[in-house]
Amino acid sequence: MDLLDKYKKTWGLQPKNIDKISSEEIYKMARSKSISIVKWIFILGLIEFSIGIIFMLFNTYQNQNYDMLATDLLTRKYLLYLSFLTVPFLLYFLNMFYNNYKNISVTDNTRVLMEMIKKTRRSVRNYILFNLAVIVLGSIIITFISLKNSTRDIILRNQIINFKLNFDDDESIIIIMVIITVIILTVISSFYQLIYGNLLKKINRNYKELKKLDNDL
């Protein structure tokens, strides 16, 4: 009977031990996954920034070494200015991504980890919105230059569209630029949704697991 009592006592203690171990494992797994996701967000942002710098240098080289129409040159010039103006903002987001990764790597508190996940989600969404806003602003610059410049056929030439619009040049340029902008925004948004959206979904799952774990404690 003494041996049976010992088995009963051991069995009675087992669920609590399992719960404790399970909670610790859930936290460690969620923390590990979150660190990996935030690291990839920083790496992707760094890759995007590097590609942008290469693109700006290439445009600068083209402006200096190729003959262009006045409208082309003016458009490239202002878009290059816009690109350089975005650099400090992109560096700000990169610094935020890095700090998120650094802070989330050293935390060992569930609630602090949850707060860092929320901060990461906000920073990524703001980063995406900023990039989309830059695209819209670039489209507005191109449209404005095309309307004001005497050689306003920057868009209409080279057969950008293969049908004839029944409008004057100004209206045609505006309509074409709206269509092009919508297409570019759709493509870029889909890209961000595929890359960053997938990462945010994963980190959201981690957040829910941590929140449930915190409520059970």
4, part of any domain: no
| 98 within 8 A of 43, measured Cβ to Cβ | no
The pLDDT value recorded for residue 169 is: 63
Structural tokens at position 208: 């829910």
> 3-class DSSP state for residue 77?
helix
What pLDDT is stored for residue 151 in this prediction?
Answer: 46
pLDDT of residue 173: 72
pLDDT at 93: 94
Residue 5 covered by a domain? no
Decide if 2 is inside a domain. Answer: no
Is the residue at 56 inside a domain? yes
The tally of domains found in the chain comes to 1
Q: Is 64 contained in some domain?
A: yes
Find the domain containing 103 and state its range. 10-216
Rounded to a whole number, what is the distance in angstroms from the first to the last CA of the chain?
36
95 belongs to a structural domain: yes
Is 34 a member of any domain?
yes
Assessment of whether the complete model's pTM goes beyond 0.85: no
Q: With a cut of 50, say whether residue 150 has pLDDT above it.
A: no
Q: Is the pLDDT of residue 42 over 70?
A: yes
**How far is C-alpha 96 from the chain's CA centre?**
12
- Both tokens of residue 14? 């087992």
80 vs 173: which has the higher pLDDT: 80
Chain segment 9-20, per-residue pLDDT in tens: 554 454 555 445
pLDDT greater than 50 at residue 5:
no
Q: Does 60 fall in a domain? A: yes
